[in-house]
Amino acid sequence: MVDAFPLEIIEKILAKLDDDDITTMLNARLVNPMWRTAMSTVLEQKCLSTWTRWKLMRYCNGIPSRLFKWTPIKIEDDHSVHICVPEKLMVMEMESNINLFISKAIYAFLGDNNDGRIIPLQYFFKERGHGEYITNFKTHLKFSPQAMYQLLTNLPNLKAAGFPLEIEGDKGDNLFMKDKPLPSLPKLKYLELWNDTAKNNYRDYFRWFIFAYERQLMSLSLAGENMIALKKKKNSETEQGNRLLLQNLTRLKVSSPGGLFFKKTEATLPLTHISIHNFKNRLSVKGLRVISDFVDKFSKTLVKLHLDIQVGDVSGQVMEPFPTVDFPKLTFFSGNFPSSDNETFILLNCFVRRFEELVTLELMHYRSDIFELVRMLKLNINEKREWAFRRYFGKQLYWVNRYKLERIIVLASNREGEEERIIVKNPGM
């Protein structure tokens, strides 16, 4: 009876399965060819959801696939790489030709030494014959440019990928990257790059990736100090005029960026989503202005904005009025829950009140649990939280002249470490 439904309907039904019920999901693929196709699509969508769903930068350093346990596979130099695949299928694959990468997503990292076959990771997919099946790959392993080129050659259908900007190689790497562009990956839309250190010519590595895939990228996540600004590609002698860089990029997440990144990144990017996270120092008035000027560059296209920033005491500093800039599409703003009158003033006057079309304001508090937040704000701990927070926001004038602001969402952790979400609706609506 179920087979009478179109494939799209079967996919929607199977998508309702619990992510933790791995056995049921894998068994569903064994019913018949149609169910196998549908379940494979559902698994891929679940694996890609880490990239496709807009999540804040703070929570985006996770694993592309959270569906399966880690399985150790030995690679060269007596290290083992842990690959995210079902353990049972891994054992079966060693004895037969069963498709190992049922999840279509791989997360590889170095682990403890384990018994297993020694093989360079860049050749692993080619030898197993399943590289074309993978659409989602992320690793913290370091590769030489030659190894990276070989790895991506064996993963031609990647849609999302994440790599460290740290080269494992020698001085000849620059010449290799200059003479050998990365292989074509026409389906790649989501890219994450990070550098833990400012060593090993990561800037050349960064340009190697960006210039290879900048025409097709829709989402880019960058993490690391002194990150390179996103600017027009320099002309070659044969090119006429400057060409826009990343002309299809709509989503940008940056962590630990420097001031030059904000100042020199050009306003030509069609960004609709921006997430900024993790500054080492509390910001001064000057630092706030640098971030504000950066956001203003994309005022015409911006829809969602997240700023995870800590503001210092600016009471003794001269703060000139921020320029009047229209944000006609910005309906969602997320920031840290202010812990003082100073932070509340900054949040409201430097950001919230500049966004005329704002519908949802999200305030995050992860410095302590929700009970500590209630105590800090001197709210009635026995009162229903929605009512207590409604009175608090009313006293702080959050709703004043915010005619389109429908809700304020408070995100905090409870004592069990689970996220608690409190939604306070505008009392005037």
Pick the closest to residue 207 from 156, 145, 131 (CA basis): 145
**Interval 200-243: pLDDT, tens:** 567 888 889 998 998 999 999 988 776 788 876 655 444 444 45
Tokens 């960004």 belong to residue = 271
Query: For the chain, what are the domain ranges?
Result: 2-52, 295-429
Partners of 132 in the β-ladder? none
Inter-residue contact 407 to 424 (CB < 8 Å): yes
What pLDDT is recorded for position 353? 86
**Which of the 8 DSSP states describes residue 245?**
S
Q: Which of 65-74, 255-264, 282-291, 294-303 has the lowest mean pLDDT?
A: 65-74
**What is the Cα–Cα distance from 150 to 148, expressed in whole angstroms?**
5
What pLDDT is recorded for position 117? 39
Instruction: Of 66-80, 107-121, 241-255, 349-363, give the range with the top mean pLDDT.
Output: 349-363
**What is the Cα–Cα distance from 257 to 301, expressed in whole angstroms?**
22
**Interval 377-419: pLDDT, tens:** 888 877 888 888 888 888 888 887 777 999 999 988 877 777 8
Q: 297 in helix, strand or coil?
A: coil
Largest CA-CA distance found in the chain, in angstroms, rounded: 73
**What is the Cα–Cα distance from 389 to 395, expressed in whole angstroms?**
10
Record the pTM.
Answer: 0.82
**Interval 121-153: pLDDT, tens:** 666 677 666 677 778 888 777 788 888 898 899
Amino acid sitting at position 212: A
Q: What is the gyration radius of the CA atoms in the chain, in angstroms?
A: 24
**Which of the 8 DSSP states describes residue 281?**
S
